[in-house]
């Protein structure tokens, strides 16, 4: 991939992102002689266990364990050794499925192959999936999708994959980056127009949830917000992600659920009351005598 790097024409979005990265990360790191970034790298990435109960979840997939990975932001704030350690944490958790909801890279996609190989080599019974996020589009989303696919990971960008257990099936769909609720709505409609039904939707932007729930999607997995990276103690939703009213944790709308992970990486080197995470989700069917969550 590196041979193509010099030939790619970087977009205005990419150039703005580089300026933002300098102002929030590279510049402060230089002024602090690297202390800010070293301090950020010293913070652990938590493996967070979450149980999600759904009234209409297929019984054949009761207890499905999903490693929800998002927002690695491979780059200055996520060096390869740290990223590979996160992949090893996922491998040791032995999930049934891996769902990566985007922002694999921060700015440049060159050099990410060892990470995608490490994630792709994790053995799962039910699949290893990826949808692109907005940062994956900054350099070359096509290159990101190619390197992810070469690693054996299934890219779901307007696509659906079906998992079978005997006569039972679970349908996993994914949509690419969409900024606004209306853009998310259009992508969800296109996906469901082709497939008819999806049980689990991967969407980098959690703003897809409202319409997905209207269309009968049982579970939406998202990232993008980073949980604001700075939150009030014991109040994860009181954070800097002010453009999102669903920014961290589990939400419900009728029988549908949304889980927004705070992400494994960062786009500025500070987290307060909002630790980086990989979420290990256990999905269970709830029954009338049980609470939904």
Domains of the chain: 10-285 (3.60.21.10)
- Output helix, strand, coil percentages for the chain, rounded to the nearest 5: 35, 25, 40
CA distances from 266 to 106, 122, 212, 227 (A): 9, 23, 27, 10
Q: Is the pLDDT of residue 107 over 90?
A: yes
pLDDT band of residue 7 (cuts 50, 70, 90) is low
Q: What is the pLDDT of residue 9?
A: 76
pLDDT tens digits along 46-58: 999 999 999 999 9
Backbone angles phi, psi at 195, to 5 degrees: -100, -25
Beta 219-222 vs 235-239: how paired, if at all?
Answer: unpaired
Find tokens 């690695």 and name the residue. Answer: 72
Does residue 89 or residue 10 have the better pLDDT? 89
Q: What is the mean pLDDT of the chain?
A: 94
Q: Are strands 200-203 and 219-222 parallel, antiparallel or unpaired?
A: parallel
- How confident is the model at residue 47, as a pLDDT? 98
Beta-carbon count within 10 A of 278 CB: 23
Q: Model confidence over 209-248: pLDDT tens digits?
A: 999 999 999 999 999 999 999 999 989 989 999 999 999 9
Mean pLDDT of 59-68: 97
Does pLDDT of 287 surpass 80? no
Q: Please state the rounded mean pLDDT for residues 89-108.
A: 98
- In the chain, % of residues over pLDDT 70: 96
pLDDT of residue 76: 95
Asked whether residue 23 carries a pLDDT value surpassing 80, the answer given is yes
As a whole number of angstroms, the distance between CA 28 and CA 190 comes to 43
Confidence of residue 6 (pLDDT cuts 50, 70, 90): low
Question: Is the CB of residue 168 less than 8 Å from the CB of residue 60?
Answer: yes
What sign does the dihedral 209-211-216-217 (CA atoms) show? negative
pLDDT > 60? residue 2: no
Count CA atoms within 13 Å of residue 237 on its CB side: 9
pLDDT at residue 293, rounded to an integer: 64
Interval 156-210: pLDDT, tens: 999 999 999 888 999 999 999 999 999 999 999 999 998 889 999 999 999 999 9
Find residue 69's DSSP bridge partners.
100
Q: Where on the phi/psi map is residue 7: left (φ > 0), alpha (ψ -120 to 50), or beta? A: alpha
Contacts 24+ apart (CB under 8 A), 90-93: 90/119, 90/122, 90/278, 91/122, 93/47, 93/65, 93/67, 93/278, 93/280
Task: Give the pLDDT confidence score for residue 292 in this predicted structure.
Answer: 58
**Band of pLDDT at residue 289, cut at 50, 70 and 90:** low
Confidence of residue 5 (pLDDT cuts 50, 70, 90): low
- Band of residue 45 on the pLDDT scale cut at 50, 70, 90: very high
Can you tell me whether residue 226 is helix, strand or coil?
Answer: helix
- And the tokens for 170? 């679970």
């Amino acid at each position: 991939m590196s041979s193509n790097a010099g030939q790619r024409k970087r977009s205005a979005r990419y150039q703005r992102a580089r300026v933002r990265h300098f102002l929030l990360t590279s510049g402060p790191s230089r002024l602090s002689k690297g202390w800010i970034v070293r301090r950020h790298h010293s913070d652990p990435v938590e493996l967070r266990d979450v149980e999600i109960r759904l009234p209409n979840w297929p019984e054949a997939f009761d207890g499905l364990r999903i490693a929800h990975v998002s927002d690695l932001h491979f780059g200055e704030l996520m060096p390869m050794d740290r990223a590979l350690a996160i992949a090893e944490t996922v491998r040791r958790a032995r999930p049934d499925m891996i769902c990566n909801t985007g922002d694999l890279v921060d700015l440049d996609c060159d050099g990410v192959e060892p990470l995608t190989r490490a994630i792709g080599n994790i053995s799962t019974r039910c699949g290893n999936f990826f949808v692109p996020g907005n940062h994956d589009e900054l350099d070359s989303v096509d290159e990101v999708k190619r390197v992810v696919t070469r690693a054996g990971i299934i890219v779901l960008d307007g696509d659906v994959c079906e998992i079978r257990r005997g006569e039972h099936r679970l349908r996993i769909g994914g949509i690419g980056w969409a900024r606004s609720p209306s853009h998310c709505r259009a992508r969800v409609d296109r996906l469901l127009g082709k497939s008819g039904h999806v049980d689990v939707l991967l969407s980098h932007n959690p703003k897809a949830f409202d319409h997905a729930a209207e269309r009968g999607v049982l579970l939406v997995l998202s990232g993008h917000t980073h949980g604001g990276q700075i939150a009030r103690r014991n109040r994860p939703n009181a954070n800097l992600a002010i453009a999102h009213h669903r920014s961290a944790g589990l939400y419900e709308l009728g029988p549908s659920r949304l889980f927004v992970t705070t992400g494994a990486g960062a786009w500025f080197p500070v987290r307060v009351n909002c630790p980086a995470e990989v979420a290990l989700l256990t999905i269970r069917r709830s029954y009338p005598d049980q609470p939904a969550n």
